[in-house]
Amino acid sequence: MRFATIAFAVAALGAQAAPVNNPLLQKGLPIPFDQIRAEHVEPAITYLLEEARQRRDAFVPSPGPRTYENTMAAFEKILEDLQRGMTIVRHLEGVASTPALRAAVNAVLPKYTEFVSGLPLDRGVYGKIKEYSQTEEAKALTGARKRFLEVTLDEFRRAGAELADKEQARLREINVEMSRLRKQFADNVLDATNEFDLVITDERKLAGLPESAKAAARESARQKGLEGWRFTLQQPSYTAVMTYLDDPAIRERMFRAYNTRAAAANLPVMKRILELRRERARILGFKNYADLVTADRMAKNGERVREFLRMLEERTREFYEKENAELLEFRRSLEGPNAPPPAMWDLAYYAEKLRKARYDFDDEVLRPYFPIQAVYQGMFELASRLYGIRIQKVAGVPAWDPAVEYYAVRDEDGTLLGGFYTDFYPRENKRAGAWSSGLITGGPVDGKFEPHLGGIHGNMTPPVDGKPALLTKREVETVFHEFGHQLHHILARSPVKGLTGVAWDFVELPSQIMENWTWERESLDLLARHYQTGERIPEELFQKMLRARNFRAANAQMRQLALGVVDIALHVDYDEARDGDLYAYARKIFQRFTPAPVPDDYAMIASFSHIFSGGYACGYYSYKWAEVLDADAFTRFQKEGIFNRATGMAFRREILEKGNTEDANVLFRNFMGRDPDPEALFRRSGLVKR
């Protein structure tokens, strides 16, 4: 099979020979992840780039009348194989990074970016698409094809297709430099995260920590050949210390290390990124970068984003102040009337104590009910009831790590819709956080269905001491969240593959809505099983969990708003000549949303990967925006039944399958019958007067 594909490619390309036996070039499924090595990257990507270049060159002068097939369909094909190869490489860099792989990616990335971001600036390519758009055939297009043409023209314009040569040349330079800077930012964060560890050998200093965190720290030390307990800035380790460890000096040390990560290395990187983004917006004729990136999103412009954030801040502030007064009062009830207000590294710690006192509940008691396999099974059962799909584990599929599993997704009639990997344990060669990946985009083709391929990834509590991996409630929500993204990927059935990139402020709706099912008794019963006794969560514990749900919800909301506001402010308002030091400027904004003094070395933005290396620049607001959407959309399930197949299928057909085949404002309206209403979010978060 492999030889046939390569032979065909060679024939089509004339003289250029494909590298022999390069697993990155192998088409079809499964992807041979167990064989792909760093040394395959450069030859494969170089070959695919050359192939894409030849496709582009063949695209431009093709003679005869312009048709959808020889224009739009041919345009889609230019990047198809190159992007497939690059997606796999970038994916491996996220889940199985090595210095050699990093170097290989860095070697090909500039050429790749230059080519891909150069396409909209290619007068030949743009000219042909524009010419097609003026034909009778194009004017008569409907549905996905019509949308694809519109979206493509719009994207070309916003990438600079209509600009003069000189400006286009400058944009090309900016694109290449940006891609290098974003990569550098991410590398600096990863290095700084791995650089730090804290090894404690005196067990008394661990007072307050739950057994699970102690066991994980012990295991981490053992793996490094060390005595004692090792703590790192990776999520489960860091969060456990900040939430539970009694010794404030250790918490402070971890907090400062965490929030000064890459502060020196990333300062010039951030400044340059912001500068280049400002310049890009100016060249393209937008008032600012926020207007440029939100133009094709639900919000449509930066001012609407500001209004949205302002509205939430105003509605949240009084609840936030009340929560802060309560926390101080609580600390004083424990430590006497002269106890100082909590510092930033005290907040999670006292909040957890208050939660325990008030609700007699802490996250740890739920862990035994959430062995990861039971969580998967319950989640798949839920998807089956709502969306009529079947999800089954498939053994023997090659992966990048032995802990990775693979699942196939079938429709009710047996059609294979796709497959996805699950990869939820931390490794040093893996990036932080949780995310969902779309590795291959399939869809309906000639009456058949080409399966999608993706993965869900995170850094959850791994199995320790011979026990299965036992998750916290929050980790369960994260697994559901990423699974929601994956459903959006795998259930998509756009007839045009180029229409799968969904508006950024809509993309968190399918993920966040899934989290709602982890709060309902009947759906929770599908997935929560005590790992030793098989029991469901006792009713009393469930009630406590519900009562504790909105504990300090206003603080959580203010934190998200802070990140959203900082994101817009850095991109739109910040002016070094007027505002001075970037960190000081950001600290001042954070202070407005933070109930404790923000320390002088606080440099959280230096690891704010979402906006500097990820795709969230001027888009962090999307999380809250989508929360408004998901809280609102879930009210329909609550009304009609949380397992209601008809409601589930409506969500599948109107939202999950649609991709970007329609404006997201319209998709939402099609499902709900009206525009989004923020009241559902305030109610769900308990931010309403009783």
Q: Which residues bind Zn ion (CB under 5 A)?
A: 511
Buried/exposed code over 221-260 (b: 16+ C-beta within 10 A; e: otherwise): beeeeeeebbbbbbbbbbebbbbbbebeebbebbbbbbbb
In the DSSP assignment, the letter for residue 83 is H
Query: Are 106 and 97 a contacting pair, CB within 8 Å?
Result: no
Let me know: does 31 contact 398? Beta carbons within 8 Å. yes
- Min dist CB 216 to Zn ion, Å, is 25
Please, which residue, 152 or 512, has the CB nearer to Zn ion? 512
d(C-alpha 332, C-alpha 340), whole Å:
8
- Exactly one of 93, 313, 475, 482 is catalytic; name it: 482
In the residue annotation, 381 being an active-site residue is answered as no
* Contact by Cβ (8 Å): 308, 625: yes
**DSSP assignment of 327-386:** HHHHHHHHH-TTPPPPPHHHHHHHHHHHHHHHHS--GGGGGGG-BHHHHHHHHHHHHHHH
| Minimum CB distance to Zn ion smaller for 351 or for 503 | 503
User: In angstroms, rounded to a whole number, what is the distance separating the alpha carbons of residues 632 and 638?
Assistant: 10
Strand-pair partners of 418: 409, 452
As given in the structure block, the two tokens for residue 560 are: 């998200």
Q: How far is the CB of 457 from Zn ion (least distance, A)?
A: 12
Are 437 and 96 in contact by the 8 Å Cβ rule? The answer is no
Which of residues 512 and 594 has its CB atom nearest to Zn ion in the complex?
512
- The nearer residue to Zn ion, 511 or 685, going by C-beta atoms, is 511
Cis peptide before 463 (omega within 30 of 0): no
Q: What is the C-alpha separation between 203 and 201, in angstroms, rounded?
A: 6
> Please, what is the Cα angle at 598 between 596 and 604, to 5 degrees?
125
- Tell the smallest beta-carbon distance from residue 485 to Zn ion (Å): 6
Tokens of 644: 């209601």
Please check whether residue 95 is in contact with residue 423, taking contact to mean a CB–CB distance below 8 angstroms: yes
CB distance 647 to 641 below 8 Å: yes
User: Which phi and psi (to 5°) does residue 676 adopt?
Assistant: -60, 145
- Closer to Zn ion at the Cβ: 500 or 511? 511
Q: Report DSSP state, residue 23.
A: G
Q: How many CB atoms lie within 10 A of CB 474?
A: 13
| Strand partners of residue 229 | 200
The answer to whether the beta carbons of residues 91 and 401 sit under 8 Å apart is no
Nearest distance, CB of residue 36 and Zn ion, angstroms:
26
Query: Rounded CA gap, 335 and 299, in Å?
Result: 47
CB of 481 to Zn ion, least distance (A): 6
Q: Shortest distance, CB of residue 297 to Zn ion, whole angstroms?
A: 15
Q: Which is nearer to Zn ion, 296 or 627 (CB)?
A: 627
| Closer residue to Zn ion, CB minimum distance, 237 or 511 | 511
Task: Fill in the amino acid letter for 663.
Answer: D
Q: Which is nearer to Zn ion, 506 or 637 (CB)?
A: 506
DSSP 569: I
Q: Which is nearer to Zn ion, 87 or 543 (CB)?
A: 87
Residues in a beta bridge with 455: 421, 437
Kindly report the number of other CB atoms within 10 A of residue 444's CB atom: 13
Nearer to Zn ion, 441 or 511 (CB): 511
* 340-372 exposure pattern, b = at least 16 Cβ within 10 A, e = fewer: eebebbbbbbbbbbbbeeebebbbbbbbbbbbb
Cα–Cα distance for residue pair 649/390, rounded to 1 Å = 14
Smallest distance, Zn ion to C-beta of residue 529, A: 26
Q: How far is the CB of 504 from Zn ion (least distance, A)?
A: 11
Three-state DSSP state, 232? strand
Cα–Cα distance, 680 to 689 (Å, whole number): 14
Tokens of 474: 């929050």
Between 168 and 511, name the residue whose CB sits nearer to Zn ion: 511
The residue of the chain with the least Cβ separation from Zn ion equals: 511
Minimum gap (Å) between residue 629 Cβ and Zn ion: 13
User: Terminus-to-terminus CA distance in the chain, angstroms?
Assistant: 66
Active-site residue list: 482
